[in-house]
Chain A
Amino acid sequence: MTEDQDALFSSVDALLRQADPLPAPEERLRLREAGGLARTAVAAALGVSAQTVAAWESGARDPQGERRAGYARLLAGLAERYPPPPPPSSTPAPDPEHTPATPAAPTAGVPEQQQHSPAGPAPDDRRDPARTMAYEPDRDRSGRLVTGPPEPCVLCGQPAGHRAAGRPQHCNATCAPGLPLHPAPAAPRSPAPSPSDARPARPAAAREETAGAIARNVAAALEDNGGDVDAALTALVKRAIPDAMALLNSTRVGSTYDFTNYLSTDDVPILKKPGRNDPDLIWEGRPKWRNTGAERGPARTVTALDANGAYLSALKTHLPIGTLRHAATGEYDRKRSGLYLITPPAWEHDDLPSPLGNREEPGPLWVTDPTLRLLIRLSGPRYGLCDPPVIHESWTSGSSEGLLERFRREMATARDAAIEAGDTVTLEYVKAMYAKFVSTIGESSANREMRRPDWMHIIRSQAFANLWLKAWKAYGAGLTVVRVTGTDELHLIGDWRGVFTEGRRLTDMKLKDEYRIGGR
């Protein structure tokens, strides 16, 4: 093969890749979300605007040229990691034979000398996009994976032979049990960095700092306590607050918004507690509701369900970023979040709980953003359950739903992995972290690194709003809602398995109890 021919072939390959079929628009969206990538991150990597990526994902437009090739590669890499769910959806899984990763010919971006390098285990020069996106395993000069004596992987704590950034880690963060400790024969050669690889470095590098902090802490605690699970767990729960704050701080690196850790309650009078042990004025809308009609009815079996990790899920909520500012107007701005003085609408549904919980005092009350959002939503044409609430005053700041998102995802991933592996230590540790985080970010002497009572109220209200929406979902499916209490309890009559999945994941519901009511 002459140089000319080689150059010709690679340019033809580049053209071929630009003609590759892309997955359907819905699939593009699903893949990006499954990978936890922000639209802006994808846009930055491909050198387009976030709106363009949105247009690709909605099918309004299709990428062209170089960008199409880059986008196809990203999607193929994501599809490999996050295959479509088992029930055959409308979008076919991308065929690995037709993904742009397959062409056996060298990639256009690879310099000539690399392509002709005699070293390297196989002529298979394909570049797996998935590998370039995350933790690049360490390699020696000839491109072989660096191995060493098995040591606990920094991500999952299981023995790992490979190294990444000098630390023991499973290859490409695939912490599957029983991974071979020697390099696979078809290990792909390290690709030469090309500009498109270098660009998404910022989020990847920032994430590397945080990834596995939970697993590391658990592994260290187990080692310190000589493998004594109970002692390790006690030690971990004890340091859950500082650990959660450290995790939060590490997830802030490279984030878009810089929120303030402290809110002066002197400046926001409604958050000031009248006495040392008295609550402030905020109504969180905690539900405590029982369906008296159903309890008086005929004898039936009630299923008591629990939402899993309600406060963990509630960390995804619109949180005010900075100092709360007062406004004496009744405007609602979706881009802001905070506290609102409202006159709630009347609630005239005996078979559904009020989204405000069991508020007994009439008149205006201070609610948080999630409660108000829920009320506004329920007053809309889609639900039509009540009149719109009347807003009188507010204390708000510009908001973002993503402030705690990386923090939440870090814990959710560790939680899922712990459930999968039956690892009670990590499970309890994560639970202590998020539960204590929520309960101490207000004015608690147990956590001095943060004082955001507004966040505490908002996160709790979000958990209650989430529970209300679960009750609504069951109600909409024809079930009778019997009780809605606390953060996570939902009691139903009927075939609840048709509405919720039973399980321990965050989206599942846990079966708690079954009992009989009525018939008296």
Chain B
Amino acid sequence: MAGRWGTGATPDSGFGVFGARGVEGWRALGREMDRQVTGIKSPVGTRRGLAARLRYLTRSAAGREAMRRAGITVRQRTIDAWVAGTQRPRRANLERIDAAYWDLRRRNLGVEWARRLAVRGTRIEIHPVDQTDVRTGRDRDLVVRRVTVRGHRIWDDIIAAWIAGDHEMLDIVWDEIITDLGSDYDSYSYVSSVGFGL
């Protein structure tokens, strides 16, 4: 992470010492992507929500793989009974089914987003940290910045890191994005939020 907000090693250094409020850029980036995940709206506890999730998960090898990753270790016969509606999963398995569904959904959306963004790119609107509580003299002159990010190289990294929950990787990519902003790029290592279309 770029670090001109201070290292935080001593009490008078680090982000927020003078009252600025914000989050790390990579966190805002991840949040914005989380926000755009769409999928089945019915909760997994409902008959409809469960049936839809099972349909999604049992349609492909990737779905079975996702269930395995989520820790569902039941036999195929049990899964078939769930799908047929003759048997209801236990509470623990319901949670795993939900986790497996969202895991697979994010992966599939990620593939689609990477395909689109590599060519078309997207314009990321970066809202600077909230400095309302920073006293005059200690505040920075920060404005909303916009930067267009496109290309396979960067988006493949962003999406892979987002799916895997790899914070270090997302942080590296965020640094890469903000270096395009020019000399005061470091001020945007922390932001209040970012916005973009996927």
Contacts and interface: CB of A to CB of B under 8 A. Distances in A.
Interface in B110-156: 125, 127, 130, 132, 144
Interface residues of A, number: 17
Contact of A260 (B38, B130, B132, B144): B144
A458 to B, nearest CB: 18
Given A322-B144, A323-B127, A325-B132, A262 B195 contact: yes
Contacts of B144: 258, 260, 322
Contacts of B41: 276-277
| Complex A-B, nearest 3 residue pairs according to Cβ-Cβ distance, in ascending order | A262-B195, A448-B197, A264-B193
Contacts of A451: 195
Contacts of B127: 260, 262, 264, 323
Interface residues of B, number: 16
Given A322-B144, A448-B36, A264 B195 contact: yes
Interface in B24-66: 31, 36, 38, 41
Contacts of A33: none
B36 A445 contact: yes
A276 B39 CA distance: 11
A112 interface: no
Contacts of B38: 445
A277 B197 CA distance: 21
A412 B167 CA distance: 48
Given A258-B144, A262-B195, A264-B127, 18 more contacts: A260-B144, A260-B195, A261-B125, A261-B195, A262-B127, A262-B193, A262-B194, A264-B192, A264-B193, A266-B31, A267-B130, A267-B193, A276-B41, A277-B41, A323-B127, A448-B197, A448-B198, A449-B197
8 contacts: A258-B144, A261-B195, A262-B125, A262-B194, A322-B144, A323-B192, A448-B198, A449-B197
Interface in A155-197: none
A153 B38 CA distance: 42
Nearest to B197: A448
A266 B195 contact: no
B185 interface: no
Nearest to A450: B197
Contacts of A325: 132
Contact of A262 (B130, B132, B196, B198): B196
